[in-house]
Amino acid sequence: MDRVLVTGLGAVSALGLSVKDNLNALRMGVSGISERPSMVRTKLQLPVGEVLATGRELLGYLGLDEGRVMTRTALMAALASAEAMADAGLGRNGASGVPPGRIGLILGTSVGGMDISGEFYEEYRVDHSAGDVRVMESHDCGASTAFVAEYLGLDGFATTISTACSSAGNAIMLGARMIRAGLIDVAVVGGSDALSRFTMNGFNSLRILSSSPCRPFDASRDGLNLGEGAGFLVLESERSASGRGVEPYCAVSGWANVNEAFHQTASSADGDGAFAAMTEAMRVAGVGKDEVDYINAHGTATPGNDLSEGMAIRRIFGDDVPPFGSFKGYIGHTLAASEGIEAVFCALSIRGGELWPSPGFYSVDPGIGIAPLVKYREGLQIRNILSNSFGFGGNDSSLVFSAV
């Protein structure tokens, strides 16, 4: 069966505006979490993982009119997806050996254009004649996808997925399944989300934001740090990649999405959804538990999420848990973009044979009983990485990335 290969990567996060910048920061052990927001106007002075570039600067990087009004979600998505396509040897118009219409775009987002529609509403609620109502056209999540498709010059299949924090994971899964089914040859897949007052206030109302840098799986963890960014992969059929002479980073070999519907926001204490997603993804990949060399945990650093995910990991692997960790201490929880950015990190990990420590961990939670990786490792032969992204409502996704 034709494998689904990863042939291009693109990333924008609090660690930097390119894959190279992100990789260098990971290798140096640098965290992108700042003490308080500087780009988004908010009264919440809490740690966040911000992309340190203004909308005007992002427009400039994209070669667009710097006076154009565009959401950060769309701009970061365009920057990361264009980098991924260039990395895969594809022009912005889809050239370089792929037939017209055989490239698909699948973008995951939950914030959409809330960053600028929120600003518009501040004026509008005071004076209904104030502000430019046309900015509301970009509020819808699909508007970001339409902008990216236009920017990349893609006129084939394009769709948007919005399943909260599992959005990018589900985008990757859909792209892989479409390639496997022969519907397309190449899929540009990932996610993008911007920080906004709406999301910050929403998460604050749930009382799950920490006032200090987050500490995934640590006994003292008390909440997450929100982040923003975009991460995209170019997925390609083995036949297409071979025909173009492209060297892949890895393969997407397994995937699963389940919905345990336990609670509107919380995961079940026993991790039923996480357990089901991980075991099904491993089954699809044909990978046994002794063949998983690393688990990229969702690891948000909230008491409930980490306990639930930790319990699920223990249920599957018993006393032989492979190295695992969370990237949230580097970039924050980037919501719909999280699996997009973290999938890029997984691909880099397999290609480079290296694993990065999970920031913020100091002591084992007795309720979980296992500790994430805390030391940098290199020179490894990594066969398979199991990567998790779990969303509100119990919409849980797991992916398996495998060495080629």
* Residues with catalytic function: 165, 298, 333
CA–CA dist 88, 236 (Å, integer)? 9
40-64: burial string, b at 16+ Cβ within 10 Å, e else: bebebebbbbbbebebeebbeebee
* Pairwise CA distance, residues 189 & 166, whole Å: 13
Beta strands per DSSP E along 154-223: 158-161, 186-193
Could you tell me whether strands 186-193 and 324-325 are parallel, antiparallel, or unpaired per DSSP bridges? unpaired
Structure tokens at 268: 């079940």
**Helical packing angle, 72-87 and 141-152, nearest 10°:** 40
According to DSSP, the residues that pair with 258 across neighbouring strands are 396
Structure tokens at 354: 């290296």
d(CA 277, CA 258): 6
- The per-residue b/e assignment along 109-131, b for 16 or more CB within 10 angstroms, e otherwise, is bbbbbbbbbbbbbeebeeeeeeb
DSSP 3-state of 391: coil
Distance CA 64, CA 386 (A): 38
